[in-house]
Amino acid sequence: MRSGALLFGYAFLYAPIALLVLGSFNDSRLTTVWTGFSLRWYRALLEDAAIREAAWLSLRIAALSATGATILGTMAGLALARLGRFRGRRSFTALLAAPLVLPDLLLGLALLLLFVLLERTLGWPGRGALTVTLAHITLGIAYVAFTVRARLAGQGMLLEQAAADLGAPPLTVLRRITLPLLAPALAASWGLAFVLSLDDVVVASFVSGPGATTLPMLMFSTLRLGPTPVLNALATVLLLLTLLLGWAAWRWAAVAGGKARH
């Protein structure tokens, strides 16, 4: 009984993905009719200029927002884990956790109003790729901060205190002890923020502007006319990219964690 329920659960989760990948190799234009194996839709994907531009824009935004979120989120996580009780800690934690619990629709609308207000008062930043990047940094900070906080809470402070007792200044302790021990958490956080940015369509739809159509936005607008084999091919490429990114982050974290222990 348990095995059957487990198999049903796995099939429910992964069978649609397998069908999507299989459909990307279908020679027919109809996604519901199989006429033979073909790579024509991958060739069509490479020749589509709109998809190439949207993909390149999404990759740039995802890389920049993941890097920004990792830097700021690490600082926030260090503050929560190492500064103890400070004035406004509860409010700081609540505001930091807000993107985790608030609907994307509400976040997108709030960020849109903020950017419109800034543009009217300061003439900056203007809706486009920059506002999408800033919005995705806002979304990613919370995930990074609480991942870093959990890692710091789990590893304790013995090594840092020992280094400080031996005369190491705080910046040296941070650079030689804390950050190497945080390497697995930082790799996981960067990868998570990257995937969140690459996958977002709701917030980006609110804060983007002309000439800043991300890949998820393009896919969503195309799906309104119905699924196509080109979209299946694109989804398969994104799936492969995500798996490769996860594997690379895991390998980097394992190597960095091993060096930190030695």
**Is 92:141 a contact under the CB 8 Å cutoff?**
no
Joined together, the tokens standing for residue 204 give 């980006």
Question: Does the structure show a pLDDT above 80 at 116?
Answer: yes
Whole-prediction pTM? 0.83
DSSP 3-state assignment of 154? Answer: helix
**Which amino acid is present at 82?**
R
Q: Is the pLDDT of residue 111 over 80?
A: yes
The β-bridge partners of 37 are 26
Give 52-73 pLDDT, tens digit per residue. 999 999 999 999 999 999 999 9
Segment 77-105 mean pLDDT = 86
Give the mean model confidence (pLDDT) for residues 151-175: 78
Between CA 12 and CA 20 the distance in angstroms is 13
* Superfamily for domain range 41-261: MetI-like (1.10.3720.10)
The rounded distance, in Å, linking the Cα atoms of 48 and 38 is: 18
Residue ranges of the domains in the chain?
Answer: 41-261
Stretch among 97-101, 193-197, 256-260 having the lowest mean pLDDT: 256-260
pLDDT attached to residue 138:
93
More confident residue, 67 or 32: 67
